[in-house]
Amino acid sequence: MAAVSVMTKQKKSKPSLANTLPEMRCDFCKKEFKREAAFIAHMCRYKKRFIDRDLQPNRIAHMAYVMFYKSSHMQYRKEPSIENFINSHSYEDFLKLGNFIVGINAIATKEYIAYLLKSNLPIRDWIKDDVYLKFVLNLNRTEDWQRAVERSIIEMEKWAIKNDKTFRQFFIDISPSDAIHLIATGRISPWVFFLSRTGAELNSKLSPEQSDLLSRAINIQFWRKRILTEKKTVSAVSAFLQDVGL
Ligand SMILES: [Zn+2]
């Protein structure tokens, strides 16, 4: 009988003993630890998410999550914190979007996210190339020429550094298929391609297949019409491109 009572006593005193020890509990999954080494070595899905929070795809994912909550009708009084995000059941979907955006090196990330939220597309479509390209097509048509030209010149500078050339050689030396790809993905604006002397020269050298590919990406008819009708913009862009030697 005595042995039993001692055991019971030990059992009862156990929680109070634990309370006097420094708490070693994972803040994320609430798992408790007796040994410090095990606590430090512990890794769970949520802790991993926290550790990865400053990686570029994860930051974009968090930004998209915040934008999603701000745009939705959900009654979120406060901006969702990183903890809200880490614990969200949509975390993986938003991370996929972050990875997609980083993977394609998307232009205008914030605007792309806003576009997705406005379009009411299902989440699985957010990481589809054709959805992104449609956004680019739309952005090409609506953004200020100054911004479009600036982005194009930055892209040309990057190309120049990589190829040990100057950005003025961009349309002269780049392969037509690389140029078409950069135009289709919004890195080089149609304004720059059509209105620069070097761009126009490259345009005149495209094969019918290449012209067709470009047309499917940016709708050449639309741009022809635009160049004929938006005279003020056309002369501003042309003058600028001439000034910088393109
Ligand atoms: Zn944990």
Residues of the chain with pLDDT under 50: 1-18
Question: Can you give the pLDDT at residue 149?
Answer: 96
Distance 33 CA to ligand 1 centre (A): 10
Which range marks the domain in which residue 59 is found? 47-128
Distance 48 CA to ligand 1 centre (A): 9
Distance 51 CA to ligand 1 centre (A): 12
172 shares a domain with 117: no
156 shares a domain with 122: no
Question: Can you give the pLDDT at residue 243?
Answer: 95
Report yes or no on 28 lying in a domain: no
Question: Can you give the pLDDT at residue 11?
Answer: 44
Distance 147 CA to ligand 1 centre (A): 45
Distance 28 CA to ligand 1 centre (A): 5
Distance 92 CA to ligand 1 centre (A): 17
Tell me which of 96, 128, 160 is where a domain ends. Answer: 128
Distance 86 CA to ligand 1 centre (A): 12
Question: Can you give the pLDDT at residue 212?
Answer: 92
The total domain count for the chain is 2
Distance 12 CA to ligand 1 centre (A): 27
Question: Can you give the pLDDT at residue 232?
Answer: 95
The CA R_g of the chain, rounded to the nearest whole Å, is: 28
Report yes or no on 8 lying in a domain: no
103 shares a domain with 78: yes
Question: Can you give the pLDDT at residue 219?
Answer: 85
Question: Can you give the pLDDT at residue 21?
Answer: 60
148 shares a domain with 235: yes
Distance 30 CA to ligand 1 centre (A): 6
Question: Can you give the pLDDT at residue 7?
Answer: 39
Question: Can you give the pLDDT at residue 4?
Answer: 40
